[in-house]
Amino acid sequence: DAKTTQPPSMDCAEGRAANLPCNHSTISGNEYVYWYRQIHSQGPQYIIHGLKNNETNEMASLIITEDRKSSTLILPHATLRDTAVYYCIAYFNNAGNMLTFGGGTRLMVKP
C-alpha cells in the first residue's frame, strides 16, 4: 500500500469546517483512499473512502485531486466530539490486504 503523509496536528474552531489534508503521491490506480478516526481510548471509526470521485456521506466529504496524489477530508461543521486522531490510508481493498496505520492527524476542536 502507498505511504501517506499527514500533518501531525491541527486545530479547528467549533462550528467551522475542518479540512484535513493527506498526501499520497505514490498511490497506485487500484488503491482507494480510506479515512478513519480514533477518539481517545476507542477503536478506529470508519469515516469514508473513495477511489477517484469526490464522496460525501453523513459524516464527511472526501475531495480527491484529479491526479489522485492528495485528498482532503472535510468535516463541514466540527463539534467538540470530532476531536480525535484522523488516519488517511491508501489501501487496495481485496481479500489479501489489510489496513496499515501511520501517525495520523490529531484534530483538536476548540470552543
Partner 1 sequence: GAVVSQHPSRVICKSGTSVKIECRSLDFQATTMFWYRQFPKQSLMLMATSNEGSKATYEQGVEKDKFLINHASLTLSTLTVTSAHPEDSSFYICSARGAGMADTQYFGPGTRLTVL
Residues that bind partner 1 (CB under 8 A): 34, 36, 38, 41-46, 49, 87, 93-95, 98-104
Q: How far is the CB of 42 from partner 1 (least distance, A)?
A: 6
CA angle 29, 18, 56 (to 5 degrees): 50
Q: How far is the CB of 16 from partner 1 (least distance, A)?
A: 26
Q: How far is the CB of 15 from partner 1 (least distance, A)?
A: 25
Which residues are within 8 A (CB) of 34 and not within 5 positions of it... i.e. 6 or more apart? 46, 48, 49, 88, 89, 90, 91, 93, 99
- Cβ-based nearer residue to partner 1, 3 or 16: 3
